[in-house]
Structure 1
Amino acid sequence: MSGHLISSDRQRIVVGLGKTGLACARWLYRAGTPFRVVDTRANPPGLDELQRECPGVEVVCSPLDAELLSTADELIVSPGLSLKEPAIAAAIEAGAKVVGDIELFCREVTAPIVAITGSNGKSTVTTLVGLMAEKAGVRVGVGGNIGLPVLEMLEQGEKDLYVLELSSFQLETTHSLRAKAATVLNVTPDHMDRYASLVEYHQAKHRIYRGCEGAVYNRDDARTTPLIPEAVNVLSFGTGRPPGLKDFGLLTEDGETWLVQGLEKLLPVSEMKIRGQHNYANAMAALALGSLAGLPMMAMLDALREFPGLAHRCEWVADINGVGWFNDSKATNEGATVAAIEGLGIGLTGKIILIAGGDGKGADFTELKPSVQRYVKDVLVMGVDGPRLAEAVGSVAPVQRVVDMADAVAKAKALATEGDIVLLAPACASFDMFDGFEHRGAVFREQVEALHG
């Protein structure tokens, strides 16, 4: 195909098509900006749409070529591609600037941004802040790593506020965020197949604080504490009493646990539909972010009362013969699984039967041991890294290998007694056995619902 006809002194290359790359291509094309697209796949997803909607744009489907990429002034890189890819690294060395769709979005918008990252809880907190804004009558756009690609949000008309879930991969290529309020919810080992160390992963997450007006951190996780100028407004949240009058925490009084800000009781957790310590932390993080964004407290508390939680995130599925069944298929790393076990285990009269396993993304699973020892009576493992998971926790709980989800649910039913919980919280990605975490959760739900028959 011939190149885009509009001339420009700058050379741009979109690296990686798919959902995000296509959104970038559409945006550049409509702006009249010349660019090329490269993808390692012979027939990448989105190619037909690109050719139909952006005629004349050159597409190169071949292994990434360092010489070609080095001709660019700016590479617009898909978050699924590591910047350590040799061809991309060579282009950076040659002087190319690397950006992503979030950076293009930030260059365009003038409305304030609430930016949310963390190993776990991002989607819940992002959704909550969006609902809080809606309750307050604010025109809000919610997207990023959840829902719509950010550039597609720009087609929805003017907004008063944007709430963005951002992954570490997206933050690597974002330079102009300057959030009204930013948070790192927590940092636990994840994507260790992409990052050389936890320190490198931590550094990518903390890019979210660059240039922010307000920052929110988790008092229970020192890795979230921002290193920022004193002029930045900083709030904290945590599961203990808040240290300052504007900080958020939990207070238990006369058998009732409350969300509090400073000395002020805000909401008893019994009035929320979401359960577990990790969800109380998510609620407090959302309140802190909303406060920094100027949202009224009453509207935020109304949103908390109504929020039912997200599918596949500690989602209640059924109670059968006194046994609760919970779907936390989105728990794709150790930290998320620990949060689910701890959140449901506290106050539980019985024990947890844990279904876990899949593609561990380089994790060693040792972080699971204390929680498994405290709250889990049996572990059922599956998937390519099931044996490694079994080895990691086998010294603290009985472990059985299962062949698929039907086998896991059947064995869990046989093991569970009244007062127990069966929890799907895999600590692994799903692609070795399923189309994604949604598919894995749906299969679990189907198998549990079949028990009623």
Structure 2
Amino acid sequence: MNKKILIIGLGLTGISCLNFLLKKNIIPSVMDISNYPKFIKKIPSYVPCHLGYFKKDWILNSQLIILSPGISIFNNLLLEAKKKGIEIIGDIELFARYNKTPVIAITGTNGKSTVTNMIGKIMKKNNFNVSIGGNIGYPVLDLLSFVRDFYILEISSFQLETIKKLDVYIAVILNISEDHMDRYPLGIQQYRNFKLHIYKHASICIYNADNILCYPKYFKKKKKYITFGEFSGKYTLCYNKKDVYLQINHQKILNFNKTKLIGIHNYLNALAVLAVTDVLKISKKISLQQISNYLNMDHILQIIHIENGVTWINDSKSTNISSTKAALKYLHKKKRIWLLLGGYDKNCKLYLLKKYLQKKNNINVYCFGVLRKKILSIYPKAKIVKTIHQGIEQIIKLVEYGDVVLLSPACSSIDQFKNFKHRGQEFVRLVKKFHNPK
């Protein structure tokens, strides 16, 4: 790789790209719009570094730009670079150019982390040597240091924007609904198109048959296609009175009510997981045992406190409308739900949540953050608070036995927090503080 290379963005991904190139005796230039990026001390003094803003001549005089996923490819300077013929890739594409290990790749608007982790647990239980990376786990370039049977990658739409030839053994799209509309000026079809990149060089494509946006644009004879869905596909759900079953080709094989999984959305995640593990010829006994005992990850419908019959739930990873609706549907039979909603909405259609809230009479909405006034304008019954702290302070005085307090913001956290984990951790800390004041 004898090119003039520029890395833009010095977060975890950017630093992993830098370290990867330095190990190959390639010295790139690096750039970040922050004056004090988090990993500034990890940049050797001999690496050319520009901080504070995008330096135009560095961008336009590069031969290869490696872009961190947090930076939009629609930035005007990057569009100019692209017109000039400068190649722009991300760490996933750089990984693809060196990788020789089979890849299982998962994307979707919601459920990516859960499915990635479930597949990893099942494969390890079946003595596969695997590592998880991408949007969670290790940065993908770090995986190349490990000798593994498979790499399991969670890949976001941002990461998919810059891939060209990612060879994938199994590609999975769980669902597609509105998210990151601030990033995609042409709307959901543009967002979808980037998601569909995951199929391009995949041998096996697994997709949600109930969500037409997940369908490949073209079906090719050389590829194998496997479907799952609540109502359609090879792997589906079956409703029988109070029970919900996982079924394959209409044959019931697992009663979800006898598992530790929470919510229909997680039952659908389990369908996708089983579709993958069946391709790998893993014993159904092992797969179903691991699915049955799977516990939600932190920040996903995580029960953090129960006192006086009131349940407090941290669903901070809910950063879009569809994930909040899934949480509310799961909890719909509860006496009352006190919903903490708000943050930065990424230009998504919040009014879609309004339609759902109007049908219910047991949901009390407290809206916080930069979007609080917008939420109030579309749902006048909401109460405005500036912060989660203020919301908890008010709610704790009103809750009664049988109630649920739910942080499921339907928005990004970037207005008041570092990320969804920081938001969730702060919620947990505050709930504990209010219940155990010292």
Identify whether the pair has TM-score above 0.5, normalized to the shorter chain.
yes
Whole-angstrom CA distance in 2 between matches of 1:319 and 1:48:
43
Work out which of the residue numbers 417, 426, 429 in structure 2 matches 1:434: 417
Q: CA deviation at 1:131?
A: 0.9
Q: Which amino acid aligns with 1:24?
A: C
| Segment drifting more, 182-191 vs 306-315 | 182-191
Q: Which amino acid aligns with 2:328?
A: I
Work out which of the residue numbers 198, 222, 231 in structure 2 matches 1:208: 198
Q: CA deviation at 1:141?
A: 0.9
Whole-angstrom CA distance in 2 between matches of 1:390 and 1:40:
34
Q: CA deviation at 1:377?
A: 2.2
| Segment drifting more, 248-257 vs 356-365 | 248-257
2:386 equivalent to 1:403: yes
Whole-angstrom CA distance in 1 between matches of 2:416 and 2:16:
29
1:393-428 CA-partner distances (Å, limit 9, x unpaired)? 33xxx3111232233224333444433322110011
Q: Determine the structure 2 residue equivalent to 1:350.
A: 335
**Change over 3 Å in CA distance of 1:239–1:324 after alignment to 2:** farther
Q: CA deviation at 1:446?
A: 2.7
Work out which of the residue numbers 427, 430, 435 in structure 2 matches 1:444: 427
**Change over 3 Å in CA distance of 1:452–1:16 after alignment to 2:** closer
Q: Determine the structure 2 residue equivalent to 1:236.
A: 227
**Change over 3 Å in CA distance of 1:322–1:220 after alignment to 2:** farther
| Segment drifting more, 401-410 vs 89-98 | 401-410
Work out which of the residue numbers 323, 340, 343 in structure 1 matches 2:310: 323
Q: CA deviation at 1:297?
A: 2.2
Q: Determine the structure 2 residue equivalent to 1:37.
A: 30
CA contact (8 A) 1:192 1:363 kept: yes
Q: CA deviation at 1:281?
A: 1.1
Q: Determine the structure 1 residue equivalent to 2:19.
A: 26
CA contact (8 A) 2:339 2:408 kept: yes
Unpaired stretches in structure 2, ≥5 consecutive residues = none
Structure 2 SS opposite 1:132: helix
RMSD value, Cα: 2.0
Q: Determine the structure 2 residue equivalent to 1:377.
A: 363
Q: CA deviation at 1:162?
A: 1.0
Q: Determine the structure 1 residue equivalent to 2:68.
A: 78
1:123-181 CA-partner distances (Å, limit 9, x unpaired)? 111111111111111001101011211111222x2110111111111001111222111
CA contact (8 A) 2:236 2:250 kept: no
Q: Determine the structure 1 residue equivalent to 2:153.
A: 164
Structure 2 SS opposite 1:258: strand
Q: Determine the structure 2 residue equivalent to 1:49.
A: 42
Structure 2 SS opposite 1:342: helix
2:6 equivalent to 1:17: no
Q: Determine the structure 1 residue equivalent to 2:245.
A: 258
Work out which of the residue numbers 134, 146, 151 in structure 2 matches 1:144: 134
**Change over 3 Å in CA distance of 1:44–1:121 after alignment to 2:** same
Q: CA deviation at 1:452?
A: 4.2
Q: Which amino acid aligns with 1:164?
A: L
Whole-angstrom CA distance in 2 between matches of 1:449 and 1:44:
32
Q: How does 1:121-140 map to 2 (within 5 A)?
A: 121-140=111-130
Q: How does 1:163-182 map to 2 (within 5 A)?
A: 163-182=152-171
Structure 2 SS opposite 1:180: strand
2:77 equivalent to 1:91: no
Work out which of the residue numbers 398, 405, 412 in structure 2 matches 1:422: 405
Unpaired stretches in structure 1, ≥5 consecutive residues = 1-7
Q: CA deviation at 1:109?
A: 1.8
CA contact (8 A) 2:365 2:383 kept: yes
1:24-64 CA-partner distances (Å, limit 9, x unpaired)? 0110111123422222333323222121xxx5322233532
Q: Which amino acid aligns with 2:373?
A: P
Q: Determine the structure 2 residue equivalent to 1:5.
A: none
2:326 equivalent to 1:339: yes
Work out which of the residue numbers 301, 304, 310 in structure 1 matches 2:288: 301
Whole-angstrom CA distance in 2 between matches of 1:385 and 1:341:
20
Q: Which amino acid aligns with 1:380?
A: Y
Whole-angstrom CA distance in 1 between matches of 2:40 and 2:7:
13
| Segment drifting more, 211-220 vs 416-425 | 416-425
CA contact (8 A) 1:186 1:218 kept: yes
Q: Determine the structure 2 residue equivalent to 1:3.
A: none
Structure 2 SS opposite 1:182: strand
CA contact (8 A) 1:134 1:140 kept: yes
Q: Which amino acid aligns with 1:188?
A: S
Q: CA deviation at 1:321?
A: 2.8
CA contact (8 A) 1:66 1:88 kept: no
Q: How does 1:59-70 map to 2 (within 5 A)?
A: 59-70=49-60
Q: Which amino acid aligns with 1:334?
A: I
Q: Determine the structure 2 residue equivalent to 1:224.
A: 214
Structure 2 SS opposite 1:75: strand
Q: CA deviation at 1:356?
A: 0.5
Whole-angstrom CA distance in 1 between matches of 2:171 and 2:430:
39
TM-score (norm 1): 0.90
Structure 1 SS opposite 2:192: helix
Q: Which amino acid aligns with 1:38?
A: M
Structure 1 SS opposite 2:410: coil
Whole-angstrom CA distance in 2 between matches of 1:280 and 1:104:
34
Whole-angstrom CA distance in 1 between matches of 2:152 and 2:308:
41
CA contact (8 A) 2:321 2:410 kept: yes
| Segment drifting more, 274-283 vs 30-39 | 30-39
1:250-281 CA-partner distances (Å, limit 9, x unpaired)? 11336432111113322211232221111111
Q: Determine the structure 2 residue equivalent to 1:120.
A: 110
Q: Determine the structure 1 residue equivalent to 2:396.
A: 413
Structure 1 SS opposite 2:364: strand
